[in-house]
Chain A
């Protein structure tokens, strides 16, 4: 029943290894998804959230989105003119969600989702579907306004200090007459030393 010396030694080594490994293992915790993120000075979640919120609230305070008519809009491209990779679609998606939730604006299918929309329309015209319960072709509604914008940055670095300045511009254009109906900007400055 008593353990031999080599067995005891092996057990002790195994125990030490387990303790050492558990000490080295990275700890994972949930954080505040809306918290201020300053891990690096690259474009981050706080910048995305601040831009989306600022642009949405600004647009909702204009006559364009304050009536009962609920104008129909579509989201076009936000050009990334910075030197880093930024998923501008994530910004416009957040803006669209906030505007839609406000209940003051409606969105028509945009160019990026058009293929899926047409595919679904075609699919419902096939023999697999009951014609009486399928949607009709030619009933889609066009947007009265289109949203587009761009994001630019100026990066400067000297003596261990890196300064990044972002400027996000967004505009709403009237599709019918080509007039600029609304525009706003959001500036962000981040400095790392």
Chain B
């Protein structure tokens, strides 16, 4: 009677230790509060790489942080962009909304123009248009060309 109990305890301990590994992924489909989709995300850099899509070349504009939260059933996103140059830069951005299957969940948003002063951090806040839009991509385009 004693041996099966000990064996069960050992298996349970191994299972829990395996789940609490060094990976920073909180849940399999979420990373840092943001939907991960099919992407393997182990760091904030991975998250930014997976979620940010520059439209063409983007000089001196760096996305330095990305935060997500769910409010009132909708996805709320903060994107921190830094202008690494001394001069003011103009960019335009929009979000592409995807559903749980990775399909487009909403029509193209309008490009939103943005002025970022030199060596300044600017936070863009966005909110999903419907509950079907469970994933996103941030698309940024240079407007100084």
Which residue of chain A lies nearest to B132 when distances are taken between CB atoms in the complex?
A: A103
Q: Mark A50-67, 1 if CB is under 8 A from B, else 0.
A: 100100111011110010
B91 nearest CB neighbor, chain A only: A36
Q: Considering the chains assembled together, what is the distance between the CA atoms of A35 and B139 in angstroms?
A: 13
- Known contacts A34-B94, A35-B111, A53-B110; decide if A61 and B129 are in contact (CB<8 Å): no
Q: Is B117 an interface residue, CB under 8 A from the partner?
A: no
- The size of the chain B interface, using a CB distance under 8 A, is 20
- B129 and A56 form a contact (CB under 8 A): yes
Q: Does A60 contact B127, Cβ atoms closer than 8 Å? A: yes
Q: Are B129 and A34 neighbours in the complex by a CB distance under 8 Å?
A: no
Whether the pair A101, B130 counts as a contact (CB closer than 8 A) is yes
Query: Which of A35, A61, A63 has its CB near the most chain B CB atoms (within 10 A)?
Result: A61
Minimum CB–CB distance from A186 to chain B (whole Å) comes to: 11
Given A98-B129, A103-B130: A60 touches B111 (CB 8 Å cut-off): no
Chain B residues within 8 Å of A50, by CB: 110, 112
- CB neighbours (8 Å) of A63 from chain B are 72
B92, B108, B127, B130: the one contacting A61 at CB < 8 Å is B127
Secondary structure call for the B interface: loop
Cβ contact within 8 Å between B109 and A61 = no
Complex-state Cα separation, A182 to B70, whole angstroms: 20
B52 contacts the other chain (CB 8 A)? no
A-B contact count (CB 8 A): 48
- Residue with the highest number of chain B CB atoms closer than 10 Å, among A46, A57, A66, A101: A57
Partner of A53, one of B71, B72, B109, B113: B109
Tell me, yes or no, whether B143 is within 8 Å of chain A by CB: yes
Residues B45-98 near A (CB distance < 8 A): 71-74, 76, 92, 94
Chain A residues touching B, range: 20 to 34
- A143 to B71 Cα, complex, angstroms: 26
Q: Which residues of B contact A58 (CB under 8 A)?
A: 127
Q: Determine if B26 is an interface residue (Cβ-Cβ < 8 Å).
A: no
Nearest CB to that of B108 among chain A residues? A34
B74–A34 touching, CB < 8 Å: no
A49 at the interface (CB under 8 A from B): yes
Please determine whether B74 and A61 come into contact, CB atoms closer than 8 angstroms: yes
Distance of A66 Cα from B143 Cα, bound (Å): 36
Q: List 8 A-B contacts (CB under 8 A).
A: A32-B111, A46-B110, A56-B129, A60-B72, A60-B127, A61-B72, A61-B76, A103-B130
Report which B residues bind A (CB closer than 8 A): 71-74, 76, 92, 94, 106, 108-113, 126-127, 129-131, 143
Known contacts A34-B108, A62-B72, A102-B130, then 17 further A-B pairs from the complex at CB < 8 Å, ordered by chain A residue: A34-B110, A34-B111, A50-B112, A53-B112, A56-B129, A60-B72, A60-B74, A60-B127, A61-B72, A61-B74, A61-B76, A63-B72, A66-B73, A66-B74, A98-B129, A101-B129, A103-B130
